[in-house]
Amino acid sequence: MFSLDSFRKDRTQHRQRQCKLPPPRLPPMCVNPAPGGTITRASRDLLKE
């Protein structure tokens, strides 16, 4: 039988796989699964420095 618990754990691991490791000087961030792989607004502000 399909357990909801394993489903939830699988979703979590899938979400973690979408997180890309950034260059060392940038804080860890997740890349949005959007076309073009846009990063979050906070990270974009950091890149402007």
Closest CA to 26 of 12, 14, 6, 40: 40
The two three-digit tokens of residue 12, written as one number: 């979590």
Helix/strand/coil (H/E/C) assignment for every residue in the chain:
CCCHHHHHHHHHHHHHHCCCCCCCCCCCCCECCCCCCCECHHHHHHHHC
Is the per-residue pLDDT at 4 higher than 60?
Answer: yes
pLDDT of residue 19: 57
Place of tokens 């909801």: 4
Task: Find where tokens 């399909």 sit.
Answer: 2
For the entire predicted model, the pTM comes to 0.19
25-34, pLDDT tens digit by residue? 655 555 555 5
